[in-house]
Amino acid sequence: MHALGKLIALTAMIAMAGGCGKKEESVPKPEPVKPAAAAQPPLKVGFVYVSPVGDAGWTAQHNAGREQMAKALGPRVSTTLVEKVPEGADAERVIRDLAQQGHKLIFTTSFGYMNPTLKVADEFKGVNFEHATGYKTAPNVNTYNARFYEGRYLAGMIAGRMSKTGTLGYVAAFPIPEVLQGINAFVLGARAVNPKVQLRVVWISTWYDPGKERDAANTLMGQGADVITHHTDSTAVVAAAEEKKKMAVAYHSNMAKFGPTAQLVAVTHHWGNYYTHRAQAALDNTWKVAPVWGGISEGFIKLEGYSDKLPKELVEAVKARESELMSGKFHPFTGPIKSQDGKEILASGPMSNDQLQAMNYYVEGVIGKVPVGGN
């Protein structure tokens, strides 16, 4: 290959590897089941991801959902994914590209895609959009989110029971309501089984920096936390616990591979049923805007990867709580709930969705103050 050829190859490699990678993954068409279905061209469904798909984490779970949907609907859908799309101007371009290419249903899976999604949706009235974790809708933009805190409460019960030092640790990204719900639910769950438990929190101001996540985890373990968990994207926290022979609660994905002895349980996200259901609705022309905030009962959140170390009666207690959550008999945020300075936040009954979405405080049992400048 002469010099020019090399240069071109190099440029192509940079272009391929850098920026956002795009993969077209249409399911190979098997023999048509019904002649009618085969005559219809497949519904093109687009997915926009904020990080690389990877093996575990937020985007990995969304991608698992996409795969489940593609498998369930077979030749009737074809899916496209665009990964590593930064929140902001780039996102708008990517979403518009997908709409222009004839995708009729587009899932945008990060909070920061909210305004870009709405903007593109306004230009493409014939395309339906689904935005994860946002709060603004439009005639063709729906939102969906999960009650992550339900899983956190159950995991908190396990952490509270298994901790010997009575100190738990939490590596968190930014003090937004979703993260605070998780922290508070975790400590409420832990104190439900051991009222003396305390929780220390370290904020690292990024969703993803394996080095910092690990440092924060080590800091927490250095200060007596023997069960740690994280609301950040990598597997570093669970791996750090494994290395230090402490315990961990994994988040997003089952991380047993990274902490075969450390992981007590994993709070995992599952979007596949929802994606299948919504794509089916789009195929049947019954797609409507109906914001969803699903939890354990909707199958959005699960507890997986239970450690063998957990005592049997603990697992039974957690499962019992889980079924109460499913039947609606129990809500993790049920009064009386006190904030950490002893002020009463909720006298009785379950917390309303509005109150949940405005959460900006720690409940009793968390050490330290919520850093200002959240949201």
Partner 1 sequence: MEAIGTLIAFTMNAGTPLLLAAIGILINERSGVVNLGTEGMMLVAAVVGFAVTLNTGHYVAGLVAGGFAGVLMAMLFAALVIGLRANQFAAGLALALFGAGVSAFIGLALQGEPLPTRSPDGVPLLRNLPIVGPALFAHHWLVYFALVLTFAVSWFLFRTRGGLILRAVGESPESAHALGHPVLRVRCLALAFGGACAGLAGAYMSTIYTPLWSDGLVAGRGWIALALVTFATWRPGRVLLGAYLFGGVTMLQFYLQAQGVEVATQWLAMTPYVATIVVLVLISRNPRWIRLNMPASLGKSFSPNV
Which parts of this chain interact with partner 1 (CB under 8 A)?
Answer: 10, 13-14, 16-19, 51-52, 54-56, 84, 169, 174-175, 200-206, 208-212, 214-216, 218-220, 222-223, 225, 234-236, 239, 257-258, 367-369, 371-374
Q: Are 174 and 141 in contact (CB under 8 A)?
A: no
- The vertex-75 CA angle with 72 and 78, nearest 5°, equals 90
Query: Which residue number, 216 or 296, has a Cβ lying nearer to partner 1?
Result: 216
Considering the complex, what minimum distance in angstroms separates the CB of residue 315 from partner 1?
25
Query: Which residue number, 55 or 122, has a Cβ lying nearer to partner 1?
Result: 55
Query: Which residue number, 52 or 299, has a Cβ lying nearer to partner 1?
Result: 52
Tell me the C-alpha distance between 291 and 134, whole Å.
10
Tell me the C-alpha distance between 186 and 161, whole Å.
12
Region for 126 from its dihedrals, namely left if φ exceeds 0, alpha if ψ lies in -120 to 50, beta otherwise: alpha
Q: Are 169 and 240 in contact (CB under 8 A)?
A: no
Considering the complex, what minimum distance in angstroms separates the CB of residue 53 from partner 1?
8
Beta bridge partners of 337: 346
Considering the complex, what minimum distance in angstroms separates the CB of residue 98 from partner 1?
22
Query: Which residue number, 103 or 230, has a Cβ lying nearer to partner 1?
Result: 230
Considering the complex, what minimum distance in angstroms separates the CB of residue 118 from partner 1?
27
In the β-sheet with 22-26, what is the strand arrangement from edge to edge? 22-26, 77-82, 43-48, 105-108, 128-132, 141-146, 292-294
Query: Which residue number, 209 or 298, has a Cβ lying nearer to partner 1?
Result: 209
Query: Which residue number, 107 or 174, has a Cβ lying nearer to partner 1?
Result: 174
C-alpha count within 13 angstroms, C-beta hemisphere, residue 278:
29
Q: Are 302 and 296 in contact (CB under 8 A)?
A: yes
Considering the complex, what minimum distance in angstroms separates the CB of residue 180 from partner 1?
13
Considering the complex, what minimum distance in angstroms separates the CB of residue 158 from partner 1?
21
